Amino acid sequence: MTQDQDERSPLLSRSEDEHPEVLDFEKDDPENPKNWTFFRKYLNVAIIALMAILSPLASSMFTPGINQIAEDLKTTPPAVVGATTGFVVSLGLGPMLLAPLSEEFGRRRLYLASFSIFTLLQIPTALSPNVETLVAIRTLSGFFGSVGIANGGGTISDMFDPSERAGVFGWYLLGPLLGPALGPLFGGFIVQDLGWRWIFWIVTIICAVNTILAFLFLKESRASVILEARKEKMERSQGGTFRSAQQDDRSVRTKMLSSIQRPFRILFTQPMVFTMATYQAVIYGTTYTLYTNFEDIYGKGYGFDSNRVGLMYLGPGLGFVIAVWFLVPRIDTIFNHLTKLNHGESKPEFRLPIANIGAVLFPLSLFWFAWTVEFHVHWSASIVSMVFFGLSQVTIFNSVQNYYIDSFQQYAASAIAAGATFRSIVGGLLPLAAPPLFGKLGYGWGVSVFAFAGVALAPAPLLFFLYGEKLRKRYAIEL
């Protein structure tokens, strides 16, 4: 063996014949994302978390100004709500393309390209001369803004081991959940003091700062892409032929088709994913339905101005923070404990016990909210119910997303995208059906409809904890 081969040997495994030498990560390889420093990992998480909070923030930020926008653009409030619908639906459709593409071609380039476009699209949104332009541009920007939601789970899976992942994922997922709650709070002050167009100018500035940070500091975390770059570098510098351990020799066209089909295959062939995606869709749809009606509930019902209506969104926001701080870390604790009891063998189902807390709190908090609003009980009673509503969302979403990651591993982003698409489409469309529903039934029975849906789906986490392994084996697919 030559001296050059000796120097390369820790990184290579070589067959006895003359096949290309195979490049893979060694045990303590500093280029392996799982071996990165604490600071390096959390810098990546911070940048993508900010992306993941800004797009949902933009989805709801202008809801306190719906009436002002309608008056300025000479249209009706329901037409303006269509801008939210288009944005949220696109926010769900985007991951079906962006997530699988990141699995084939790398996370970083998808983040940079998509979020740059999202940032630029805020400019024509702010300049919209009519509601048709507003809806069209918002719909398009939702697609590109979904990149943080589409690839965040996959990026975290790239960098963190299963035993420590849930806690990190909890703080990341706080962004997509907290964004729709904080958006109306900030939007209320901006609309009242500066006008609705300034919402999008401010979003443009913040997104531009985050995009610059991403270009400077965001690092590629997809192992196959890192190894492919290493292979090309060694072939240029040392000559010879090398092969990445995760190399895919299929044509670009074949890989593209396979990537695009993957989330749909996961969604429609896996009963666990379809059921839990339905569950998340009900939660997401309920959230946007309530958020788009807070102006009516607290503005007309309780006589609040836009600023005070915005403050009402802090109820679910407080629930999010409490859950992430106290309950989400227990997902890892329970997972590690059950793994130890199972002789060191982990199962994705070990992520689900905490979801049962949310399964109980979700319908209870909605019944509470529905009837305190219906009977015009003091506003604080309904806001306290929203704290528990927020808490239920976080426990269910975090448990389910970690379940997807453990079940589908290297294709976690596609699994998460499948669920995200379904929930976002429902979340975008339900607010359009809410006005006639509430008009006919009132807020008491109208919101209770969503609560009854929560009751019907509440057994899902427990059933999948008990029988999920059998279902995974029965419906196993080759991705």
* Number of other residues whose CB lies within 10 A of the CB of residue 80: 24
Q: Do 454 and 366 touch, CB atoms closer than 8 A?
A: yes
Residue 64 DSSP code: G
**Residue of 402, 398, 419, 415 whose CA lies nearest to 173:** 398
Q: What are the residue ranges in the chain where pLDDT is below 50?
A: 1-17
- What is the reported pLDDT for 19? 66
- What is the reported pLDDT for 245? 66
For 253-278, the three-class secondary structure string (H helix, E strand, C coil) is HHHHHHHHHHHHHHHHHCHHHHHHHH
**Residue of 399, 393, 397, 398 whose CA lies nearest to 465:** 399
Residue 62's Cα: distance from chain center in Å?
A: 20
Token pair for residue 270? 């896996």
What is the reported pTM?
0.77
Rounded Cα distance between 150 and 138, Å, is: 18
Rounded Cα distance between 449 and 286, Å, is: 10
Q: For residue 266, what are the CA distances in angstroms to 279, 403, 408, 466?
A: 16, 13, 9, 21
195: left (phi over 0), alpha (psi -120 to 50) or beta: left
**Residue of 284, 277, 298 whose CA lies nearest to 369:** 298
Q: How close are the terminal C-alpha atoms of the chain, in Å?
A: 39
CA quadruple 449, 455, 457, 461: dihedral sign: positive
Q: Do 430 and 288 touch, CB atoms closer than 8 A?
A: yes
E strands, 81-166, where?
none
Q: Residue 380: which residues within 8 A CB-CB, separation 6 or more?
A: none
